[in-house]
Amino acid sequence: MSKTVIKNAAVIPMTRAGDLLADGEIMIEGSRIVSVGPRGTAPDGWGETIDAAGMVAMPGFINCHTHTAMTLLRSYADDLPLMEWLEKRIWPLEERLTGEDVYWGTMLCILEMIKSGTTTFADMYFFMDDVARAVEESGIRACLSRGMIGSGPTAQLALDETREFIGRWNGAANGRITTMAGPHAPYTCPPDYLKKVLDIADEHGVGIHIHLAETRTEVDDIMKQYGKSPVEYLRDAGLLEYPVLAAHCVHLNQEDIKIIKEKRVGVAHNPESNMKLASGIAPVPQLLAEGVSVGLGTDGAASNNNLDMMEEMRTAALLHKVHTEDPTAIPSYQALEMATKNGGKVLGIPDIGVIEPGYRADIVLLDFNKPHLYPKHDLVAHTVYAAQSSDVDTVIIDGNIIMSHGKVLTMNEAEILENVQRCASRLVKEK
């Protein structure tokens, strides 16, 4: 079993606010962290040594909601409202996607995420076998779900493919791949369809990944059709009795928040996508105050337009300060929790997001020898408010060194860029 020790690093373990090792060592054996302590913790000659002098070690970022292959559509349909963006531009182009397109789009997304310090992501899309293959080859960790629209012609196919996909991939890649069922949203999945989705969740013992209360239009339409909010609609359909990853949760009333808390729903907050599509601002400070687990997601690159969790984290902190007119809203440590520790809870993967013995060795090293990171008054605040994705030097996932000194070791960057451009050009040309 491989052994690695990270030495001379300042360690932000995310165990609790205020915990910091100014000169720490992290011992990794196989895929797990076995020890975290001050200089001298590791015996001499114990495994491969990474000298992290001048660097900060922290848990890898956890992107709780995205659509990986939408990197192919980046900048294709900007500056439009959500439903026009979806119905007029995105969905028509997605109908022409092939498994090869999705594979290369996913590889591009993973490459971008690794280079910016993301070690785990949650995806909802289609051609999910190709997504899983990209995850397996690249070395990243992922929670994958096949998106299902119950009101369209592919409704039954989506159910069949979901059942097969979960059976084939849940727990694959040495446990790096987990799966969920992925009904798209309340407005695309009627009650009888949701019942079929829950049958699959029961059969395989998996949770649910769904978009929820993203726009006022969604809330108004569900209220008009069913006489209840989207959250109440899912509760009454029985869906909230399962582990749920709910993306967006922008338009919530007090009763909705109460239900989300009681049912232990995990929320994926996507501030930049919500801002760009003008969907609104989720009540994140209130959700956090109620004890709801809130993680961060980028959403797809077609509505963000990047997969940079460092940027997403900073945006989340600043957005809620200005929205509440309270500079103490979402302080830096809480923002960093949302981007790391909370993500493990939201995805139902309890042993990621913290640097502590027994946890998965998903660790990033940030190079703090940069002008914008001096003087070193507060390393957590610097990470949230000043650091850039280009400061990510090393990425370790499941104990494996995936990126070293900015170079991803498991992927051929030139090949990915070439194939992505080829696929995207064909998609647009066929329009």
The predicted-structure confidence for 68-79, as pLDDT tens digits, reads as follows: 999 999 988 888
**pLDDT of 403 above 70:** yes
Average pLDDT over every residue of 254-274: 98
- In 3D, which of 56, 76, 77 has the Cα closest to residue 368? 56
Spatial neighbors of 151 by CB under 8 A, at least 6 apart, are: 188, 189, 190, 193
Q: Could you tell me the CA-to-CA distances from 83 to 233, 248, 260, 277 in Å, in that order?
A: 21, 15, 25, 9
Task: Give the pLDDT confidence of 308-355 residue by residue, as tens digits.
Answer: 999 999 999 999 999 999 999 999 999 999 999 999 999 999 999 999
pLDDT on residue 92: 87
Helix, strand or coil for residue 145? strand
Q: Token pair for residue 375?
A: 């003087």
Domains defined for the chain, CATH in brackets: 3-59+352-408 (2.30.40.10), 61-346 (3.20.20.140)
Mean pLDDT score, 393-401:
98
Position 93 scores a pLDDT of 84
Please confirm whether the linkage preceding 63 is cis (ω < 30° from 0). no
Given this model, what pLDDT does residue 430 score? 65
pLDDT at 2 over 80: yes
DSSP 241: G
Q: Does residue 303 have a pLDDT over 80?
A: yes
> What phi, psi does 129 have (nearest 5°)?
-60, -40
Q: What is the pLDDT of residue 429?
A: 81
Asked if pLDDT for residue 17 goes beyond 80, the answer is yes
- Give residue 81's pLDDT: 81
Q: Please provide the average confidence, as pLDDT, over all residues in the chain.
A: 96
Check residue 90 and report its DSSP letter. I
Task: Give CA angle at 23 (10, 386), nearest 5°.
Answer: 20
**Nearest partner of 379 among 24, 37, 5, 27, judged by Cα:** 24
Which pLDDT belongs to residue 306? 97
pLDDT digits (tens, 9 = 90+) for 122-176: 999 999 999 999 999 999 999 999 999 999 899 999 999 999 999 999 999 999 9
Q: Does the pTM exceed 0.75?
A: yes
Cβ-based neighbour number of residue 237 at 10 Å: 21
**Using CA atoms, how far apart are residues 146 and 158, in angstroms rounded to an integer?**
7
Distance (Å, whole) CA 179 – CA 207? 8
- Position with higher pLDDT, 152 vs 8: 8
Give me the pLDDT at residue 56, please. Answer: 98
20 token code pair = 């910091």
At 363 the pLDDT is: 99
How big is the chain by its Cα radius of gyration, in Å?
Answer: 21
Q: Residue 431 pLDDT > 70, yes or no?
A: no
